Every structure is written in structure tokens, then in C-alpha cells.
Structure 1
Amino acid sequence: MAGAVTVGRANYADPRHAAAMVMLLDAYARDPAGGGEALSAFARENLVASLAARPQAYSVLAFDGDQAVGLVNCIEGFSTFACRPLVNVHDVAVLASHRGRGIAEQMLAEAESIARERGAVKLTLEVLSGNQPAMRLYERMGFAGYQLDPAMGTARFLQKWL
């Protein structure tokens, strides 16, 4: 029988949390929504220490009893227009066995609470257009497409690999 789901800020110095983060991010990376490929050995070996070295990073974990089942990684940036921090929700991962139980919503609420403590003006995130369950969750939680002047349209997320 599954235990109670608990959600809280990850402690990068806690070996249990560190192992959970690597396992969960690897499971997400292997999922079609995460690209379908395992994390590299470099990422698995350096992820937690690299996040811990960045004061602008924080993570949220969910546990079902003793089993790690969810992860959100956040990176603080800066809104020049508001002259305040913003927080990018970089990863939202829930094990397939635990999806549809409100775990991502609980983790995002905790991530938002931490962002507010940091004085952030907004949360941002990216989502693949085909991930309709995630889109419904994000919209239900108040996320919307970014625009300044409707005549200019909505923002698009682009990337360039270096």
C-alpha cells in the first residue's frame, strides 16, 4: 500500500535526496516528454553538486512513503522590467506510476511558495505542445502564454545548442 505523499524542498547535501534527484531526472529524461534518452554519465555524476554550487537553484521533491516519486528543478533569473527575480521551473517530473494524483500540482505550489519567499515577480516554464496533461495542469495553476502587446503575439521559446 502506498504511503502518504510528502512534498518539500530538496536538500542537496542529503545523500537520499541527491540519489532521488538523479533517479527522477533520469526517469524523466527517458520518458518521451523528456526526450527518450537516459541522462549522460556526466549529468548523473555532477547534477546535484552543480545545482548546489548555484545559489539561484532550488529543487522540490515528492515522496510516497519512502519512495521518491516527483521532482521540480527551479533556476532563479532576473526580470529587468520588474527589477526583481523571476524563477524558471526547469523540470517537472513525476514517475509514470504516480501521475494523475496531483503530485506535480503540490510540487509546483511549493516551488511557487519558495519563489515568493525569494521575492520573485513570476514563474516561467516551457512545455511541449503535445503534452496536453501538463498544459491543462499549468493553465489550471494560472500559467498562460507570455505577451506584452497582443498585436506583437505571444512569446516563443527558442534554443541554440553550444
Structure 2
Amino acid sequence: MMPSQLDIIRADYFDPEHSSAIGALLNAYASGPMGGARPLSEAVQATVAGELGKLPHAATFLCYADEIAVGLINCFESFSTFKAKKLINIHDVFVANDYRGLGISRRLIAAVEALAIDRDCCKLTLEVLEGNTIAKKAYSNMGFNSYELDVVTGNALFWEKSLL
């Protein structure tokens, strides 16, 4: 499906249309194999944008294809202590199945990169699942690499401890 127009916009968390798109796109992401294959609760879908809006260093970009929300990227400003500069971590990247292969994720990441440059950040970071070979190839083609301080100590790993 080739849309006649693709628009990347910075989401307004308190705009009802944007808020609804964020909840719906995140639910589609969570429901798929790269999101854990479990849909989000209706409460999370309804409140996630407002909660993001409470965070001063959060940013979301949406992709609209012919006025239909088909992609999103959520990111958060953080800090690199080794560079003593801000960075932006890309937390979620999602493009609806019917719109993959059109360069939407590349355009979403370019929007985040422009934001990072505008904010004088030193780098972008992101996490990607080990088995997500398509995303890993795409990110590599966009200049991302695994994080490694020294070949002896190896690549950084992303761990979590759930508090819920």
C-alpha cells in the first residue's frame, strides 16, 4: 500500500487525536511478536499519552499516511556521564504492518536525530531485541552499533527488574 502522502509530526500529548493514536499504535506494537504479543489494557491505552505529557524530557513523533496514524517513535532525553552531555534514548519504534518497507522508521528516527542535534545531544541510543533481525539491519544501516567500551568486556546488555 503506497500512500500519496506521509507526514511526520511531533505529537501533542494533550491533543485527543494524537493521544488516541499513541494508545492505539502502542497497543498494536505490544500485541505483535516484537512487543511481547500481549495487548495493552484499555486503561493504559487511554492514559499513556497524558502520562508521557507529564515528563518534561519525553517526545513522541507520529507518522500519518494519508491522515491515518501508521507509525510512532517514543524517546526520552537522558545524560551521558562519560561525555557530560545530554543524549536521547529511543524507547519505542513501531510501524503498522501494511506500511512497513516504506522508510517510515528511517523518517521517524531522522526526526529524533534532528531533535537531538537541536538539543545539543552527543548521541542517540536504543534497544532492539536480539531476534529482531530486520530492525537490527535497519538500525545498522542508519549508523547504530552495539554499545561496547572495550572488546575484552564485550557489548552492553539491557536488563530490567520489574517493580509491578
1:142 counterpart = 2:140? no
1:16 counterpart = 2:17? yes
Instruction: State the partner residue of 1:123.
Output: 124
Return 5+ residue gaps in structure 1 as ranges: none
Q: Structure 1 segments of 4 or more deviating over 3 A?
A: none
The CA deviation string for residues 105-153 of structure 1, in whole angstroms up to 9 with x for no partner, is 0000101111111121111111111111101110000000111122211
Q: SS of the residue aligned with 1:16? A: helix
Q: TM-score, normalised by structure 1?
A: 0.96
Distance 1:28 1:3 in 2: 24
Distance 1:37 1:3 in 2: 32
Of 62-71 and 113-122, deviating more is 113-122
Instruction: State the partner residue of 1:94.
Output: 95
Instruction: State the partner residue of 1:133.
Output: 134
Aligned runs of 1:9-88 on 2, under 5 Å? 9-88=10-89
Instruction: State the partner residue of 1:151.
Output: 152
Distance 1:35 1:75 in 2: 21
Task: Give the alignment's Cα RMSD to 1 decimal.
Answer: 1.1
Question: What is the CA-CA distance between 1:18 and the residue it aligns to?
Answer: 1.0
Distance 1:26 1:58 in 2: 18
In the alignment, is the contact (CA less than 8 A) between 2:20 and 2:46 conserved in 1?
no
Question: What is the CA-CA distance between 1:60 and the residue it aligns to?
Answer: 0.6
Question: What is the CA-CA distance between 1:17 and the residue it aligns to?
Answer: 1.0
Q: TM-score, normalised by structure 2?
A: 0.95
Question: What is the CA-CA distance between 1:2 and the residue it aligns to?
Answer: 2.8
Distance 2:10 2:4 in 1: 19
Distance 2:142 2:62 in 1: 19
Distance 2:41 2:120 in 1: 34
Distance 2:118 2:50 in 1: 23
Return 5+ residue gaps in structure 2 as ranges: none
Distance 1:106 1:15 in 2: 24
Q: SS of the residue aligned with 1:150? A: coil
Question: What is the CA-CA distance between 1:42 and the residue it aligns to?
Answer: 3.0
Question: What is the CA-CA distance between 1:160 and the residue it aligns to?
Answer: 1.0
1:110 counterpart = 2:116? no
Q: SS of the residue aligned with 1:39? A: coil
Instruction: State the partner residue of 1:7.
Output: 8
